[in-house]
Amino acid sequence: MEERLVVINFKTYEEALGFSAEKLARIMSNLETEIRLIAVVSPFDLSSVVSIAPNLEVWTQHLDPISFGSNTGWLHPENAIERGASGTLINHAERKVSIEHIAMLLDQVPEDFTVCACAANINEAEAISALEPTFVAVEPPELIGGDISVTSADPKIVSGTVAVVRKISKDVRILCGAGVKNGNDVAKAIELGASGVLLASGVTKSSNPSKSLHDLLSKI
């Protein structure tokens, strides 16, 4: 059976930043599950989250394909890896970059470093998949942070992304996100051909993150 993923983007929500990021990471780390569960944290929180939840897979939210030197305000891949990141998001709707940026980053990071490149639509997913990142995550921007899951509002963007990516590469895996909140949304994503989901507020802003995580994993 194909490996399934639930990727939680902490963003910069107050409930998932700093000490709150550590608290949420502990909750995720203590879950007993065979599902690949991933925390995507602010670069400021990488070291602390990795240290308090060493068994949890941790990605950073963005990286820049830069060399050592005069790059004020940019995020160096080697620094993130030193601090414990095993992967990164890139080109999220809230931090868009060029296709060249993604290509250069893929050339710079080690082969075993996970790169999940986000796409706003099928055409962007198709272009990005030709670069062969580890994952392409399709997320319609208008649904991000909303109450309706992409799997209900626009299921064709998920199945369509799966179809175009599969024509280009058998190795690139597909995630979907935007409005994902519960186990039914995750189950539908997998039914549509995705390997899993990328979400944020459904867990980070939940009054009971542990319960929300259990619900997300319950239908896989």
Q: Which of 57, 62, 92, 126 is catalytic?
A: 92
- pLDDT of the residue at 220: 87
Kindly report, residue by residue over 164-213, the tens digit of the pLDDT.
Answer: 999 999 999 999 999 899 999 999 999 999 999 999 999 999 999 999 99
Q: Which of 139, 142, 191, 214 is catalytic?
A: 139
CA distance 182 to 202: 8
Query: Tokens 């186990």 identify what position?
Result: 183
Active site residue 15: no
The secondary structure of residue 123, as a DSSP letter, is H
Q: Domain of 10: which CATH number?
A: 3.20.20.70
Query: Tokens 């790169």 identify what position?
Result: 115
Whether the pLDDT of residue 1 is over 80: the answer is no
The pTM assigned to this predicted structure is 0.96
Q: pLDDT grade, residue 134 (50/70/90)?
A: very high
Could you list the residue range(s) of the whole structural domain that residue 66 is in? 5-217
Query: What is the helix, strand, coil percentage profile of the chain, to 5?
Result: 40, 15, 40
Whether the pLDDT of residue 51 is over 90: the answer is yes
CA distance 11 to 9: 5
Active site residue 101: no
- pLDDT of the residue at 145: 82
